[in-house]
């Protein structure tokens, strides 16, 4: 009788510099992880919504420049957003999703996003294979981050009428 092998954790990598996506993908797949990758937040939101299997971790660059100004709307469900906004949106789509933010200029970009150092798991670029794998394994061993996102109130309490 053979034991059923557990499915490896799935990691979604998002960086506008596609060689970073490829490098992370190679390191993580070699270590036994399942990896999805894209170079934009719009595609990442589509993957979060449409991927049939689990996604355990989002590894995203903080700065994801959009190709043009876009807003979310009924016709554009997947707008281009920065890495922090992507993380917030992705955790509302996928409960239990863990987050790692990465950047090549952490001090400027963390402060520019209003993120206090130590709030999120963070990977400074450039990085090496061992640092990436150690952080990913550590984050996967921790409970998922909620990002302070609450479910929207039900319609019944959206408005109060006074008479």
Per-residue model confidence as pLDDT tens for the chain (163 residues):
555 668 999 999 999 999 999 999 999 999 999 999 999 898 999 999 999 999 999 999 988 876 555 555 555 566 667 888 899 899 999 989 999 999 887 666 555 565 666 667 889 889 999 999 999 999 999 988 666 544 444 444 444 444 4
Alpha carbons 40 and 160: distance in angstroms, whole number? 40
Helix (H, G, I), strand (E, B) or coil at 38: strand
Q: Is the bond preceding residue 53 a cis peptide, omega within 30 degrees? A: no
Which domains does the chain possess?
A: 10-157 (3.40.50.2300)
Give the pairing of strands 57-61 and 98-103: parallel
Alpha carbons 117 and 107: distance in angstroms, whole number? 8
Q: Which residues of 25-49 are buried (b: 16+ CB within 10 A; e: fewer)?
A: bebbeeeebbbbbbbbbbebbebbe
- At which residue do the structure tokens 């999703």 appear? 97
Q: What is the pTM of this model?
A: 0.79
| pLDDT for residue 152 | 44
Alpha helices (H) in 34-101, listed in sequence order: 41-50, 83-93
| pLDDT for residue 94 | 93
- At which residue do the structure tokens 């922090």 appear? 84
Crossing angle of helices 129-140/18-30, nearest 10°?
70
């Amino acid at each position: 009788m053979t034991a059923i092998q557990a499915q490896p954790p799935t990691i979604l990598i998002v960086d506008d510099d596609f060689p970073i996506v490829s490098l992370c993908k190679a390191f993580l797949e070699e270590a036994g992880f399942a990896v999805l990758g894209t170079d934009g937040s719009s595609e990442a939101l589509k993957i979060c919504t449409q991927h049939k299997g689990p996604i355990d971790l989002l590894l995203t660059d903080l700065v994801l420049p959009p190709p043009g100004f876009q807003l979310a709307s009924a016709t554009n469900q997947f707008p281009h957003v920065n890495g922090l906004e992507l993380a917030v949106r992705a955790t509302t789509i996928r409960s239990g999703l863990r987050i790692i933010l990465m950047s090549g200029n952490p001090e400027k970009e963390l402060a520019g996003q209003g993120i206090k150092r130590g709030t999120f798991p963070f990977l400074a670029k450039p990085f090496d294979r061992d640092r990436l794998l150690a952080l990913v394994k550590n984050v996967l061993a921790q409970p998922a981050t909620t990002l302070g996102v609450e479910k929207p109130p039900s319609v019944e309490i959206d408005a109060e009428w006074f008479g």
